[in-house]
Structure 1
């Protein structure tokens, strides 16, 4: 699951940790700069106050001069530049100033007092190093603390969502007919299984059990109904066969019996398809299928249908033999599919020709009927779908036919042009 909850949580917590670290480091930097400025101002003012106090007791008291503090005192009326005061100090004027010079940060205090003006420069060698190292150490500690808290929070959150992720992954791979309900039991799930996960698991199990019940009922009903229909259909076919052998049967009655037989065969096709599809959860029973023989039988049934529709004189239905494939599968399934494709071609071809072409790995049913436009072609395999211009409809829908073909790993494709005809291809693994 490339975008599962654990990965999304990890990304969220990583982003949260990065933003928190940036915010904390920024706040610490701003606080450090502000604190250093305040300390510098207090330090310079303290040095200036002490100088003015000493100068009041001793007029010859020199201004402070150390590695960090350099002071200049200019008596009233004296030339500051002549006394060695830097020109930048003189130009600055009274007040506090930040000096933009290479090296450690420097601040300047220019203050007037009794008898003259004091220039006081403070260089923050030690304070810069202490402030920088303090900021780095504090930032590292903050990064470690935030990272640890975020990692622990992620681990806790991951343990909470891991059961849901595992459950979703398991359900995604379920076979609807045989879901593995034991796999979503609370004891089988990783992580911390809470009340919500148990409720979700219970709901999924209930849904799966109901789905299984519906599938079993549908399958059982299909089997029972199909078996029950076989007996009356057999009686109908046997009775019509016996009546058709009567030499004194009038032609009009003969045509009626032909229609009865076609209808009975249609119903048998539906019953056979339902029986095959009802056994989707059982192993496929295979046999050797002579495709050409099955196609010939489908053509014979199509000929009877054309007679019934009154189109036998204007529609030429032929079997084209290009190969004699023999494949492993279900003969009855092949018969049901080909008979339905031929029926469809006969139903929608008012004049022209229908060809059933048997090749090495396919059977094609080509007709010159009404054809289908793009919209109809895109929906032709949808269950119960019929375009408005197509009326009637007999036997199985193409949705059931494709599902029946898929039962044996065969594929059905359709190529159609409105007004020109349709080509339906049943493709199967290359026969021996």
Structure 2
């Protein structure tokens, strides 16, 4: 598809240049036109028409491709919802009749996997809405959202102690986007504090803070944390895009983001709403 598109644009551009030179030669040498004003108007019309055709050649196939991709994503997303809901419903029913501890642990793992699939489902739904420019902001209770994310992350990191101190705070914001921000920040805190079990999460005076007691960072590392693909520890899993995404979200939603850190003492991230 894109090879043919490149060829079509090149051919049209090549023909446009030849036509431009031929018309210039015809006006200047054959007709002997000396009126620069008329000559300029003719050239401007040619340039505008060629621009319209080139943009149409370039954009229309891409627009059709993106539309088809969005439709496919919506259909796939809709089809995913049913099996996820079916698995979750049936595991809850099976769990009620089980007493064996090992079987209950297995069901718990299935539920955790379903929660992760549901999270990916919500993120895909969110991305589709963002691409179609739908308004995704809603009124939420921030303390409830933090507790919800902690409940989700406790299943992934059962050995961590998440110490909560949360005041109530109602805000209008993109719920899914903020959930991804919170997940990223807590996940970073867990990854970089393997020797410490505690993660402190506070919501006071319209400011959410996430404090870990891990390896921390020096001043040089702090200057690079928002760069795409930067990781202070190359041996950690991940792609180093978390904090750049967090920064972009905060900038778009007028949230003041600050990070303080000291080597061997840990890192504190603050979101001021």
Q: TM-score scaled to structure 1, two decimals? A: 0.45
Partner of 1:215: 66
CA shift, 1:334, in A, is 3.8
Partner of 2:118: 268
Structure 1 residues 259 and 411, CA, compared in 2 at 3 Å: closer, same or farther? farther
Number of aligned residue pairs: give it: 233
Q: SS state of the match for residue 99, structure 2?
A: coil
CA shift, 1:299, in A, is 1.9
1:133-144 map, 5 Å? none
Equivalent position to 1:367, from 191, 212, 217: 212
1:202 and 2:53 aligned: yes
Partner of 1:391: 237
Structure with the larger helix share: 2
Equivalent position to 1:239, from 83, 87, 90: 90
Structure 1 residues 222 and 197, CA, compared in 2 at 3 Å: closer, same or farther? same
1:262-301 map, 5 Å? 262-280=112-130, 281-301=132-152
CA deviations over 1:327-350 (Å, ceiling 9, x no partner): 123445444443443344334431
1:346 and 2:187 aligned: no
**Which runs of 5 or more structure 2 residues have no equivalent in the other structure?**
1-33
Partner of 1:326: 170
Partner of 1:182: none
Q: TM-score scaled to structure 2, two decimals? A: 0.66
CA deviations over 1:134-186 (Å, ceiling 9, x no partner): xxxxxxxxxxxxxxxxxxx9x958x94xxxxxxxxxxxxxxxxxxxxxxxxxx
1:21-420 map, 5 Å? 156=36, 160=40, 193-250=44-101, 252-280=102-130, 281-307=132-158, 312=159, 315-321=160-166, 323-352=167-196, 353-371=198-216, 373-374=221-222, 377-380=225-228, 388-391=234-237, 419-420=264-265
C-alpha contact (below 8 Å) 1:287/1:331 kept by paired residues: yes
CA shift, 1:272, in A, is 0.8
C-alpha contact (below 8 Å) 2:216/2:261 kept by paired residues: yes
CA shift, 1:386, in A, is 10
Partner of 1:115: none
Structure 1 residues 349 and 267, CA, compared in 2 at 3 Å: closer, same or farther? farther
Find the aligned partners of 1:246 and 1:260 in 2 and give their Cα distance. Answer: 16
Structure 1 residues 401 and 263, CA, compared in 2 at 3 Å: closer, same or farther? farther
C-alpha contact (below 8 Å) 1:302/1:346 kept by paired residues: no
C-alpha contact (below 8 Å) 2:215/2:264 kept by paired residues: yes
CA deviations over 1:229-263 (Å, ceiling 9, x no partner): 2222222222332333345122x333333333222
Structure 1 residues 303 and 266, CA, compared in 2 at 3 Å: closer, same or farther? same
Find the aligned partners of 2:187 and 2:92 in 1 and give their Cα distance. Answer: 21
CA shift, 1:202, in A, is 1.7
Structure 1 residues 303 and 409, CA, compared in 2 at 3 Å: closer, same or farther? same
**Which runs of 5 or more structure 1 residues have no equivalent in the other structure?**
1-152, 161-189
Quote the RMSD (CA, aligned, Å).
3.8
Structure with more contact order per residue of length (Cα contacts < 8 Å, sep ≥ 6): 2
Q: SS state of the match for residue 150, structure 2?
A: helix
C-alpha contact (below 8 Å) 1:381/1:398 kept by paired residues: no
